[in-house]
Structure 1
Amino acid sequence: FVTIACCCAAQLGVYPWLMFWSCVLSYFVFYCAHWQTYVSGKLKFGRLDCTEAQFSFITIHLISTISPGFWSNSIPYLQLEYRILVALLTIGSTLWSSFNNIRLVSQGGCGRNFSSVAGTSIIFPGWPIGLLIFLAVVASNYSTSSVLEEHTSLHLLCYGMVFSKITNRLIVGHMSRSPLNGWDSSCIGPLAVCINQYFNLLIDEHVLLWFFLVS
């Protein structure tokens, strides 16, 4: 949700797909950090991590408060808008951090036979996040009502709730050393959106997203 607020402050909504990947990858990197913790038993921070990200968000909000039109300006000689630069830096940093966490996961866990803290497979936590990203991309790309373009923040907020839920389950799994369940009821919303699209929008997507968010 912090990333959505940051994207809105940088007026990134005019580029919905850039905003989409900035938010989804920020959800993913947060999940990967706790995935690595679930495997290794230790929460490890990189050289550029959540503290630096928070200061970046603060800077963006301060700039937006002082000069809201700043983000639509272009960088001299590059002809690249500052808001696009923010998105590219966000995407690049999250990919880099995610790669580092996945690399640590691939080295094996602290459990028996290099398993996770719960004694389970180290790659199994990739299933919930992979499914959710897949559903988010499908719903965004194949929407005939252009739900991502028309209701960008609502769309990302709905999926952000689900990302938060499965990440919290991973955190609890690490703290309690318990195995993860492959299914979570919060995934019903993303599945319902995709099924609704498959049946040619039996329910208005805007209405369905609000129901998805509230429920």
Structure 2
Amino acid sequence: MGRPTCLPARLSVWLQGPLSAEQLRRLREHRYTSLGQSVLDAALQPWWEWLLCFVPLHIAPNALTLLGLFANAVSTLGLIATCPGARETAPHWLYACCSLCLLVYQSLDALDGKQARRTGTASPLGELFDHGCDAVSTVFLAVGVCVAVRLGSHPALTLFLCCIGNLLFYCAHWHAYVSGTLRFGRLDVTEVQFAIMGFHSISFVFGPEVWDVQLVPGVPWKFLPVLLVAVAFLYTLNYNLPAVWGRKFSKAGTGTFLPGIPLAIGMTMAIVVASCSPGSVLRSQPCLFCLMLGLNVAKLATLLVVCQMTMSPICVLDSAFFSPTLLLINILLGCPIPESTALLTAIVISSMDLFLYSFRLCRQISYFLHISIFTLPYTDGAR
């Protein structure tokens, strides 16, 4: 019998990264292609070009991306900490802070690609880093708007809005997985981001209580964001799914509907947990529950982006399902662990799963392409 592999050796193999040699080769050959431009993207180009003048040449594009994600995440987490049930009233300045930080995130997200082209450092790693951060940021955007309009009093709508918000990002990259091109509509993510800034600004100026005012009997204003996100989702499906239906195979050679399987599994597990929870965890902890769901979908979306860039089949089963599985087992056993504790544990597991996968992935690609993640190879000006 052979000697068992020692732990440091196993750890070294694990740290090498999740991609195979063939995937890395295809990643090197990948070229970013997109089609279309939204109304606000076209209108904001002068603003972004003006902002770019203030970005030093030695700042790495990925640093801009991460800074924007940090601003968006911290402001939203502050709002969640103040309003964990998405029914409370936060200090009004917090809503203004979320709106401002979302503007910072949106601007930096637009500048990172321009900075990469300006410094001649555009790479597949930068594209992947950008889309991965966008997947995570989408989670905070969806939960943040639920808190801003106090949607927690309607748990089913809270879950619906967060699901739809995450599906918007996933479906766009589903189309890219099938066709090889990321497509933007006339109304797209930038318009949704500015709408969310508007919701936060309204809560700042008039107070979140304004969303409880009834538009018509039985229909408060807080239903408006749900309606707008649903319309945006239907619009996204309208210009993305026909390309999926019209093909038998994706660029990776798999069935076009393969990416829908892990998404359906993740969404179904979350809905089952919410429905079977004896303590109604969705009603008592809507923000934390939607964060857990969003982080798992963000992991699946990141996997989808990787598979699209490497033209590889997406795996149906993933470690992203581990945390909702633990919650289901806890429910089946009669909740020996308090549901609030189990939910916090699930969020920690989901966060670590996403972070460790992203860390290994970026580290592997960085070594393979011989580029740094957060520093530039030169500082003497643009090429």
TM-score for both structures, normalised by structure 2? 0.52
Give the equivalent residue in structure 1 for 2:151.
12
Matched letter for residue 72 of structure 1:
D
Q: Relative to structure 1, is the Cα distance of residues 93 and 78 closer, same or farther in structure 2, using a 3 angstrom cutoff?
A: farther
Question: How far is 1:79 from its partner?
Answer: 5.2
Correspondence for 2:306: 172
C-alpha deviation, 1:98, in angstroms: 3.0
* 8 A Cα contact 1:25 1:95, kept in partner: no
1:73 matched to which residue of 2?
A: 213
Amino acid at match of 2:164: L
Distance 1:79 1:179 in 2: 47
Q: How many residues align?
A: 209
Amino acid corresponding to residue 242 of structure 2 in structure 1: R
Aligned match for 1:144, one of 278, 284, 288? 278
C-alpha distance in structure 2 between counterparts of 1:198 and 1:32, whole Å: 32
Give SS of 2:182's match.
coil
| Residue type at the aligned position of 2:228 | L
Percentage of pairs with the same residue:
33
Matched residue SS, 1:17: helix
Which runs of no fewer than 5 residues in structure 1 stay unpaired? 109-113
Q: Write out the 4+ residue segments of structure 1 that deviate beyond 3 Å after TM superposition.
A: none
Structure 2 counterpart of 1:66, one-letter code: V
Whole-Å separation in 1 of the counterparts to 2:164 and 2:332 = 26
Gaps of 5+ in 2: 1-139, 350-383
What is the TM-score normalised by the length of structure 1? 0.91
Greater radius of gyration (CA): 2
User: 1:29 — aligned with what?
Assistant: 168
Distance in structure 2 (CA, Å) of the matches to 1:64 and 1:104: 39
- Encode CA deviations 1:143-178: one digit per residue, 9 max, x unaligned: 111100000000000111100000001011111222
Residue identity in the other structure for 2:193: Q
Change in Cα spacing, 1:79 to 1:212, as seen in structure 2 (3 Å) is closer
Amino acid at match of 1:52: E
1:2 aligns with 2:136: no
Query: Kindly tell me: are residues 55 and 117 of structure 1, through their superposed partners in 2, closer, same or farther at Cα, counting changes over 3 Å?
Result: same
Match of 2:182 among 23, 31, 43: 43
CA drift of 1:129 comes to 0.2
The residue aligned with 1:111 is none
Would the aligned equivalents of 1:28 and 1:98 in 2 still touch at CA under 8 Å? no
Query: For 1:16-65, what per-residue CA distance to the aligned partner results, in whole angstroms no more than 9, with x for missing partners?
Result: 11111010111122111111110011111123211110110110111111
Instruction: Quote the residue 2:261 is aligned against.
Output: 127
Residue aligning to 1:107: 246
